[in-house]
Structure 1
């Protein structure tokens, strides 16, 4: 009897549950939405970015966007990404006095662009220049070169006060002001350089290929493949190193202690020149009135290449930089030494030192947690200095003319400070009052 009752109860429960299930409304399953997939771009090995800052009025920054104006002066106080770098494959750049030149890898003959002051045709002359007011080019435009080969590329750039050196696979092209012979061609009295279409070509030096170029204010320097140095242009301070103080328009071999040395780099932005040999020896010539080139005789103009004995004992020197009134060297372990006159990086009290003085490594972000970081490159302008680490971080200090340090203000900086650039800095070019960097994106 008990089992019969239990069985009936189960049947009733099943029917009841079945009835409830039939009455319960069916809830449709929600349809899954197709969510968007966010694909972040990954940078290629040869991707490049251009960041610019400093005075914008002369057009050398290549943009008039994101400009601040104080007392009717337009400037960009911190790194700003240049759109030109997104649409062109920029491989090199240089800053002159109020102008900038960009080397571009291209399938056509537009391998060089320029922007900024063009009063002396230092960034070329076009018939369309008639539309530009006061010879100011505000955005990068092509610079025509008399190329003979279809696949010619730029391999080096250097800019002076009003002239430009363009080293290509066809040789060296020079343009702009030649008043002192700095373009390597005969000086023409009263030559008008405004709207001047002359581009001079120097294919080689006595059959030797040109390896690199550098430029001071009004003189030029050529480094050949066999390590010899040739100069031409203004020589009043001995900056040509030709054992005289005259101007010379023909590329001429520098004399002095570098004879027999294989030079690997020559640098200059004003009238003081530094040269580095493959053995790590440092040589200098030119203006020395600020203690850049200390010598026993106290001479302020040195017209012949002289080894700087004060650089011995600093380790193996791998990079050099010469500003308007100071010099800087870098050794193979990342130590940075500075001497001369100006804001050298040791604080507001130090204005002059006659011997290379070490800048503390901690100023470049090197500490117990960043042991593998070290400075790998140095550069400078007339009155501001720059150092780049192997991580691509940029540090700047010195005169902050029109925000040329990229720190967001116009106050002078008395010790190295990191600049907030949104990419890894590969090269920095310093003008008088503006700075341009060639960078690699983080991703």
Structure 2
């Protein structure tokens, strides 16, 4: 870069889809079929979308929440929806480094490794040793002497990633009827205190994912492990290694499918039926009927993806040029294509792409029936 040039960095936040509980952050209680620019949000460093609420982190490690609050999942000390982003005051003196939004509960991790949860606790998913709900964040004292790195909230369960001297460990708590806790191959109805996930002791886990009745862990060397509700297969009670010749960079879980982003920018799918390439049928896993199949997504030849996200039944990806593509269930407009139609192959979302920008990136996030995109760009200016 020349000395007399400077880079102007800009960020926009867009949302669309189900919005009747304020989860889109637009200040309106309605579904939106096309992308809506949200002018009231500050810069965000992290975003997590749940059943009908959103938890966000700012660069100064403060928490904002909005959307459905009827179970206390917003952490505002009440059971009220919030149409616009509002700070979680109870966490104001803490530096929050990771957050997650589940169906009706939320989790927050502090810089010092403490875990706080709030919202619906009727399945033990808050990890507090009871089945009560809480409208303000409560400390998970079970981890008082441990260091929590990440939290991932599913529909009625949670998983936590802990940092330890002998490597990272994963714990599960909440509903376990589909195996989503990963703590036993035996049937587990629910647990209200964290239990260690089996079979990952020798795995260097660096990220965790939860949605619906599924859970997943991604290792530092690019291996994916999943457990819980089967992707068209029987439920799995302990983590199962997804066999693939590719190194996995990112994974996203839906209710009946998962998206996998490889180190080569290819997007693959486990389970589900939408947007699967039925012509090539590039099955990359063993043909055992009890194993999920990994297949390439249709109509993406030559397109390099850099990010993926999944709602309950819709999928989103972003390309290396910042283009956003969606497919799957569209009943609430969550595909951002101007209607409520379903799509069986990825479609480009019109977000007013401007070719004059020097560099555009998009980060995609999904709630159950809605979508958020954080779009950044920079321009060279004399």
Larger Rg: 1
In the alignment, what sits opposite 2:124?
181
Helix, strand or coil at the partner of 2:211: coil
Relative to structure 1, the CA distance from residue 346 to residue 279 in structure 2 (aligned partners, 3 Å threshold; closer, same or farther) is same
In the alignment, what sits opposite 1:332?
263
Q: Distance in 2 between matches of 1:354 and 1:197?
A: 38
Instruction: Pick the aligned partner of 2:8 from 9, 32, 43.
Output: 43
In the alignment, what sits opposite 1:262?
204
Give, in angstroms, the shift of residue 282 of structure 1.
2.0
Q: Contact 2:125–2:157 (CA<8 Å) still a contact in 1?
A: yes
Q: Distance in 2 between matches of 1:203 and 1:250?
A: 10
* Residues 1:216 and 2:146 are matched in the alignment: no
In the alignment, what sits opposite 2:241?
307
Helix, strand or coil at the partner of 1:43: strand
Q: Distance in 1 between matches of 2:91 and 2:378?
A: 37
For structure 1, the residue ranges without an aligned partner over 5 or more in a row are 1-40, 68-73, 130-134, 295-299, 367-372
Q: Contact 2:275–2:346 (CA<8 Å) still a contact in 1?
A: no
In the alignment, what sits opposite 2:88?
143
Q: CA RMSD of the aligned region, Å? A: 2.7
The within-5 A match list for 1:411-426 is: 411-422=341-352, 424-426=360-362
For structure 2, the residue ranges without an aligned partner over 5 or more in a row are 1-5, 282-288, 354-359
Structure ranking higher in helix proportion: 1
Deviations 1:379-417 (A, max 9, x none): 211101111222222211110131111112111111111
Q: Distance in 1 between matches of 2:278 and 2:19?
A: 29
TM-score normalised per structure 1: 0.73
Instruction: Pick the aligned partner of 2:20 from 31, 34, 57.
Output: 57
Q: Distance in 2 between matches of 1:90 and 1:80?
A: 17
Helix, strand or coil at the partner of 1:145: helix
**Count of residue correspondences:** 353
TM-score normalised per structure 2: 0.84
The within-5 A match list for 1:262-281 is: 262-281=204-223
The within-5 A match list for 1:9-408 is: 43-44=8-9, 47-64=10-27, 74-85=30-41, 88-106=42-60, 111-126=62-77, 135-146=80-91, 150=93, 152-170=94-112, 171-188=114-131, 191=132, 193=133, 196-202=134-140, 205=143, 207-225=145-163, 226-243=167-184, 244=186, 245-256=188-199, 258-288=200-230, 290-291=231-232, 294=233, 300-308=234-242, 311-313=243-245, 315-346=246-277, 354-360=292-298, 363=300, 366=302, 374-408=304-338
Q: Contact 2:128–2:141 (CA<8 Å) still a contact in 1?
A: no
Report which stretch shifted further, 97-106 or 233-242.
97-106
Deviations 1:337-391 (A, max 9, x none): 113124244489x9x995211125x537x3xxxxxx6212222111011112222
Q: Distance in 2 between matches of 1:437 and 1:420?
A: 12
